[in-house]
Structure 1
Amino acid sequence: MQIEGLDHLVLTVRDLDRTVAFYTDVLGMRREVGPTGRVSLHFGRQKINLHLAAHEFQPCAADPTPGSADLCLLVGSSVAAVCRELAGKDVPVVDGPVQRTGAAGPLLSVYIRDPDGNLIELSHYQHHVPGLIDRPISR
C-alpha cells in the first residue's frame, strides 16, 4: 500500500455555526452541506468534516473530543500578510512567526486557535514546492 495524500479529516466541535463562521470568515474556507446533512469545510482539494460533539457520524474516533486537534494548514501568501489579516479580524496569534519543518522542507508558521481551542498552524514554505502550488511562493 502507498498513501498518496490526505482527502479529509474530521473535527468534533461544540457549536457548528460558530466553527463554520470561524473557518469561513477567518480562514476563507467554503461551507458545504452533503446529502446526509453533514457539514464540511472545503479548501483547495481537501475538506474538513464537522461532527457535533455527542452527535458524531458513525463510525467515528474512539474518543471524539472538541479542541484536541493540532492542524497545519498551508497558506499561499507570506506569514507577514497572514499576521496582518489576522490582526484585522481580531484573531490573536498564539505563537509565531517561527521556523518549523514541514513535509517538504522549511516553513515559516504562525499559530492561532479555533473556537474549540484546536491549534491551527498557518504555514508558508520558504521555497517553491513542485506540485504543491503552481507558482513560486512569495516571501
Structure 2
Amino acid sequence: MPSSLSGHHVGLTVSDLETTVAFYRDVLGLEVLDRFEVSGQAFETVTELEGSSGRFVHLDAGDVRLELVEYEPAGAALEDSDLNQPGAAHVGLAVDDLESVYAGLPEDVETLSDPQTTASGTTLCFLRDPEGNLVELLEA
C-alpha cells in the first residue's frame, strides 16, 4: 500500500442532511468543519449517477472527518442492517465518559442497549442516528 495514504473521511449518505447534521452536532457534539455542493460532469462521472449533485457537510470526528452527503436525485433507502450482516457499516466515536454521554442522550434517540463493558475492557453502546445508521460510542 502506498505510504502516502492516510485517513480523511468516512461518508454516510442521508436523505435529510439538516436533521442528520443537527444530530451529530447537537446530540454528539461534533463540530461542522465545512459545507459545500458538488455537481457537473466530473461528479456525474465519478459517482456513475447521471444528472446527480450532492450537498456535503464535513464534521470533526477527531482523526477523521465524518462526511454526510445528500444526493439529488435520491436513491431508494436501504433497510436497517444488523451488525453481523456482510456489508453492514457503523460509525465509531470515542468518548471520555460513556455513562455521562449515554445519560444525556435525548429520549427519542434509539439505542440498542445501555452501555456494556466487553471482555476486552471496552465500554460501548450502539445507537441509531435519525437516518437509522448505526453509531458506536465507546470508552476504551
- Give distance in 2, aligned partners of 1:95 and 1:14: 26
Equivalent position of 1:122 in the other structure:
137
Equivalent position of 1:70 in the other structure:
90
C-alpha deviation, 1:122, in angstroms: 0.3
Matched, 1:45 2:46: no
| TM-score normalised according to structure 2 size | 0.65
C-alpha deviation, 1:42, in angstroms: 1.5
Equivalent position of 2:101 in the other structure:
82
The number of equivalent residue pairs is 113
- Give distance in 1, aligned partners of 2:116 and 2:95: 15
Equivalent position of 1:7 in the other structure:
8
- Give distance in 1, aligned partners of 2:7 and 2:118: 20
The percentage of counterpart residues that share the same residue type is: 31
- Give distance in 2, aligned partners of 1:33 and 1:98: 35
C-alpha deviation, 1:98, in angstroms: 1.7
Equivalent position of 2:121 in the other structure:
106
Cα deviation, 1:37-57, whole Å, max 9, x if unaligned, reads: 63211232321112214558x
Equivalent position of 1:135 in the other structure:
none
3-state SS of 1:121 partner: strand
Q: CA RMSD in A?
A: 3.0
C-alpha deviation, 1:106, in angstroms: 3.3
- Give distance in 2, aligned partners of 1:16 and 1:120: 17
CA separation of 1:54 and 1:106: change in aligned 2, threshold 3 A:
farther
Unaligned runs of 5+ in 1: 57-62, 126-139
Unaligned runs of 5+ in 2: 39-54, 81-87
| TM-score normalised according to structure 1 size | 0.65
- Give distance in 1, aligned partners of 2:125 and 2:14: 22
C-alpha deviation, 1:100, in angstroms: 3.9
Amino acid aligned to 2:128: R
